[in-house]
Chain A
Amino acid sequence: MNDEPLILAFCCHYCAYAAADLAGSMRLQYPDNVRVLRLPCTGKLEANYVLAAFERGVDGVIVAGCLEGGCHFLEGNLRARKRVERVRQLLAEIGLEPERLEMFNLSSAEGPRFAEIVTAMVERVKRMGNSPLRPDRARAEEGALEMSRQAEAMLEGEKR
């Protein structure tokens, strides 16, 4: 049985997603516990996306947006930070550790920082232990994949 934590990263297309790509191009090593979900901007993030991830058994969630002041849509990342804070409060009410959710800011040139963020988050979740809501790793993995597919379909829909 795979007991490794599963982390879902909601990544902005203009920064963190490109940084993740760069980390790969640079052959940087980081834990393979993370699954990347692409958003057009972290301002697209809704509270129910994060809750859906936790409900499907994901152990931790990263929200990664542009550097403050550098949002492609001016202030999407600032709005996302406020939403993340509200969801953290909601997680506490639910009875799940708010530290399982964290927002980070980085630029598309920061491949090494993406690797650092993932490493730090995986270590944090390992210290806390896996989510008590996780059915089993395979089902949580399926849930994360399904959410990622839905996000990509949404992006495709917006292009049309």
Chain B
Amino acid sequence: MRRVAITGLGAVSPAGLTAAATWQRVLAGQTAIGPLRLPRMEDVTCPVAAQAHAFDPDAHFSAKRQTSLDRVSQFAIVAAREAVADAGFLPKDPDLAKADVVIGIGVGGMNTLDDSFHRIYGERGRGVHPLTIPKLMTNAPASQISMDLGLHGNTFAVASACASGSHAIGLAFRAIAHGDCDIALAGGSEACITNGTLVGWSALRILSRDTCRPFARNRNGLVLGEGSAILVLEEWERAVARNARIYAELVGFGANADAGDLTSPDQAGAEAAMRRAMASASLTPSAIDYVNAHGTGTLMNDIVESRAIRAVFAADRLPLVSSIKGVLGHCLGAAGALEALATTLALYHQLVPPTANCTEPDEECGLDVVADGARTASLRHALSNSFAFGGLNAVLAFSAWDPVKSHGG
């Protein structure tokens, strides 16, 4: 098995238009959740969302190019461009051109779908744009990244709802570890904040009406978000040989299915996924210093995830736990990728992002959820949890890279 370095990061999120801006706001615990703004609001009862209002397509794409790009692909391309530049690759690098692209998508081109259906049902008799189908197909963000950056490796979308971003990174990790490719762009993208999506989520009756408060006693549901995060994964020796900046090492991936309830989280499934991720990394629970939680802010997720964490880790060796969804909302297919990015930067800076909006930590959860602001801590290894509707769990394991130790050894 070959080792996998994380050498580039890119993001577009409600909290910022770059990885650095997103990280700074996540660290500050300053929520990006605000009043919902949409062109159509028929039957929408949810008043809040975490939207990337500052994102300006004109700053990145010509008018002609925009006609073929749903917002979900625009986010993904912008994040991918940033990640590749951050990794220090020059355009047309022949090694980069062989890279895989694996992008997690929860629902895909929902703006295109909503706009097109509005024309069909709302404005009867109007046709739809000729590129409607290739704009909304689930693989559009992965394909558009490959075309934008000239990448010819194995390129595809991964769909596992709220765990898509983590599954995508996990699959790309395996491809490099097993020698299928040397470089991969992996992450997730979502642009799901539309009239239709919000009506659908409201029908599940789990959306908060004000804000997302993970692990808080007064939590009252999740808030939808949007954005993208892309990581450049690279075979370790190659990254070291070219003197790349290594943010952290991706060391494990554990995924499974509850095969139980459609929407309720399952403690046993969550536990098993965390154990699998650690086993694949040859880590024991006592080596994990931080868990970036799924932490959606629903009544059910946070208590079940807390119980799973307390079952996996010894009571006197509980890792620090935090959820960044209080800042970013739940970005569905992008969530796992944004959280992998945050976990990577937590290890790189030895700094744990806080759980924003958790002013009243729920004692029943029984965890230190870093509610008082970002915390400096010695972090050796970390997990990032994602648990999806449909009972699909994906957990990534990361290790901090100590350059001094590694060079000395």
Tell me whether A and B are bound partners. no
B residues near A (Cβ < 8 Å) are: none
